[in-house]
């Protein structure tokens, strides 16, 4: 069984024909059958399509065709990216029955690289949440402790990695939805520079913040996937027409001597779990041993980031989600011939949208309304500019910035569902990255002493300098794995079915 190997190791075994892509996919489907009834990482499995694609990869390899480095490696896809003919729900009842007529650019690139898409993963409805409890199809469980959340909104993708159901996954990150799930599941997740990966076919929540990105169990695997999905796309007006940095070479280098690493003063301290702080500080010590210089930097406007985010993101979501009108696609309620189009629309939205989505639509509509636009949305955009300037100033003093990824380890399912503000605070360290459009990575840095659950270490890099976070992340991961004697997921107690 290869399911516990890295994606890089799987790729090498496939290239040397030690295993076929079909056999590798079937091993992962066997694991999904064994554990997903408990984890609930997947919403839809495309076994027939995946095995057909895997067989095609095997045929090309047998014929001696030159293939992508990851050809034949399986992947789990967050259910917010369109895949032609495959149900795409965004975790919402309102998209029930919708099968997109086109592939997103990310999916097009995955298919071109020969990556085998196993299925679509669970998520908070329309990517709104930090726990995957807002999914209309039930919560995903954290493989470390099935009573706890796997993070959100991309908890299905991160849980699939931690449960060895897939070696690679795609997530999306609007305010931390790749990095926070990575932190609480002991996996690696990267939010690339905004515009570095195409948003074409990514169902929009907040268009100026949403960004698709790679998820895996190691920094190198994440870099290999990043290299596949990144690059300019003329179909996306926000796509950056620049060469993608060599993130794979950076992940392999593991030499950070002389680098200046900035600790953001505002992203630690009060509100952070003691075990999270301790593991973060221990990781800083390891970076010093590797030859890096640690400097403290102040980003004073970060304290306003959460408030500004919860004006900008709901405002954009109230606009984007207006397209779900019961007429063009998805759910339609009450259409018995006796009601007007407006009545059907109202009934459909009432039945199709969940509580958190409705909350954010109402918040955003209010913030954009006449007489309040400048006071709320306009002011929040000004704060966003100040946050961007804080980052620009900080990056004149250091190469990357670091912080804990999330203020706590994984909390219990149901613990924060009735307290929206407590839930929103889970993204307090990740939101500034989205507001500025820069790159951010989370990788595991140990287990908190209070609960023996994973802690995430966040690395932030300047726009289109994503290679820097892979350089630091690869070096830190290598030294920590050497210190622990094995990867962090080998410490997880609830993965017996995968061993």
Largest separation between any pair of C-alpha atoms in the chain = 73
CATH number at residue 485: 3.90.1300.10
Tokens, residue 443: 């990788």
Instruction: Record the pTM.
Output: 0.97
Place of tokens 């952070």: 272
Residue 331 C-beta-side C-alpha neighbours within 13 Å: 20
3-class DSSP state for residue 49? helix
Structural domain including 432 reads 7-302+384-498
Sign of CA dihedral 340, 341, 345, 351: positive
Catalytic residues: 78, 153, 177
Q: Which of 292, 190, 317, 253 is nearest to 471 (CA)?
A: 253
Sign of CA dihedral 144, 146, 147, 148: positive
Give the rounded distance of the alpha carbon of 99 from its chain centre: 23
β-strand pairing of 260-264 with 293-297 = parallel
Whole-angstrom CA distances from 166 to 92, 171, 480 are 23, 13, 23
Partners of 142 in the β-ladder? 145
Q: Establish if 102 belongs to a structural domain.
A: yes
Tokens, residue 448: 């908190």
Tokens, residue 449: 């002493």
Q: Establish if 462 belongs to a structural domain.
A: yes
Whole-angstrom CA distances from 221 to 11, 273, 274, 435, 477 are 10, 29, 30, 26, 12
Q: Are 416 and 477 in contact (CB under 8 A)?
A: no
pLDDT tens-digit map of 220-276: 999 999 999 999 999 999 999 999 999 999 999 999 999 999 999 999 877 899 999
DSSP run (H or E) holding 222: helix 219-229
pLDDT of residue 1: 82
Place of tokens 């980052």: 391
Q: Establish if 24 belongs to a structural domain.
A: yes
Which residues have C-beta within 8 Å of that of residue 283, sequence separation ≥ 6?
445, 446, 457, 476, 480
List, as one string, the DSSP characters of 353-390: S-HHHHHHHHHHHHHTSTTTTIIIIIHHHHHHHHHHHH
Tokens, residue 153: 């909104």
Tokens, residue 315: 């405002």
**Which residues of the chain have a pLDDT value below 50?**
496-499
Q: Which of 113, 98, 253 is nearest to 170 (CA)?
A: 113
Q: Establish if 119 belongs to a structural domain.
A: yes
Q: 447 phi and psi, to 5 degrees? A: -115, 130
3-class DSSP state for residue 308? helix
| Number of independent structural domains in the chain | 1
Q: Establish if 355 belongs to a structural domain.
A: no
Q: Establish if 336 belongs to a structural domain.
A: no
pLDDT of residue 495: 63
Q: What is the Cα–Cα distance from 116 to 26, expressed in whole angstroms? A: 11
pLDDT tens-digit map of 453-492: 999 999 999 999 999 999 999 999 999 999 999 999 999 9
Q: Establish if 141 belongs to a structural domain.
A: yes
First vs last C-alpha separation in the chain: 9
Q: Establish if 486 belongs to a structural domain.
A: yes
Q: What is the Cα–Cα distance from 477 to 218, expressed in whole angstroms? A: 8
């Amino acid at each position: 069984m290869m399911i516990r190997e890295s994606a890089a190791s799987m790729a090498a075994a496939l290239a040397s024909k030690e295993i076929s892509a079909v056999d590798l996919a079937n091993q992962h489907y066997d694991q999904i059958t064994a554990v997903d009834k408990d984890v609930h990482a997947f919403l839809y499995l495309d076994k027939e399509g995946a095995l057909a694609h895997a067989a095609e990869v095997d045929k090309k390899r047998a014929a001696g065709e030159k293939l992508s480095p990851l050809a034949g490696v399986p992947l789990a896809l967050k259910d917010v990216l369109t895949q032609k003919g495959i149900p795409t729900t965004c975790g919402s009842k309102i998209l029930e029955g919708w099968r997109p007529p086109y592939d997103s650019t990310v999916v097009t690139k995955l298919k071109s690289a020969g990556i085998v898409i196993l299925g679509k993963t669970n998520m908070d409805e329309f990517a709104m949440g930090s726990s995957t409890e807002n999914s209309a199809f039930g919560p995903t469980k954290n493989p470390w402790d099935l009573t706890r959340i796997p993070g959100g909104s991309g908890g299905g993708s991160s849980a699939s990695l931690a449960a060895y159901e897939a070696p690679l996954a795609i997530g999306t990150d609007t305010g931390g939805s790749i990095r926070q799930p990575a932190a609480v599941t002991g996996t690696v997740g990267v939010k690339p520079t905004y515009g570095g990966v195409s948003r074409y076919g990514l169902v929009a929540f907040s268009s100026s913040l949403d960004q698709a990105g790679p998820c895996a169990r190691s920094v190198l695997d994440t870099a290999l996937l990043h290299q596949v999905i990144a690059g300019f796309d003329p179909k996306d007006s926000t796509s950056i027409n620049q060469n993608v940095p060599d993130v794979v070479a950076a992940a392999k280098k593991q030499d950070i001597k002389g680098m200046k690493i900035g600790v953001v003063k505002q992203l630690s301290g009060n509100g952070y779990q003691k075990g999270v702080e301790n593991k973060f500080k221990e990781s800083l010590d390891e970076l010093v041993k590797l030859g890096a210089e640690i400097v403290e930097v102040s980003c004073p406007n970060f304290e306003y980031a959460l408030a500004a985010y919860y004006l900008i993101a709901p405002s954009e979501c109230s606009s984007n989600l207006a397209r779900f009108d019961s007429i063009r696609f998805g759910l339609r309620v009450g259409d018995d011939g006796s009601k007007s189009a407006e009545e059907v629309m109202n009934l459909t939205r009432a039945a199709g949208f969940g509580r958190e989505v409705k909350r954010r639509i109402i918040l955003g509509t209010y913030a954009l309304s006449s007489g309040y636009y400048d006071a709320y949305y306009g002011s929040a955009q000004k704060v966003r500019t100040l946050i961007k300037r804080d980052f620009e100033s900080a990056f004149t003093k250091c190469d990357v910035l670091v912080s804990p990824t999330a203020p706590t380890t994984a909390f219990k399912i149901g613990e924060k569902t009735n307290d929206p503000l407590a839930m929103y605070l889970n993204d307090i360290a990740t939101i500034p990255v989205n507001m500025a459009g820069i790159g951010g990575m989370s990788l595991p840095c140990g287990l908190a002493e209070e609960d023996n659950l994973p802690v995430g270490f966040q690395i932030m890099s300047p726009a289109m300098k994503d290679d820097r976070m892979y350089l630091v992340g690869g070096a830190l991961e290598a030294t920590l794995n050497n210190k622990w004697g094995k990867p962090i997921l080998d410490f997880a107690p609830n993965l017996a079915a995968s061993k």
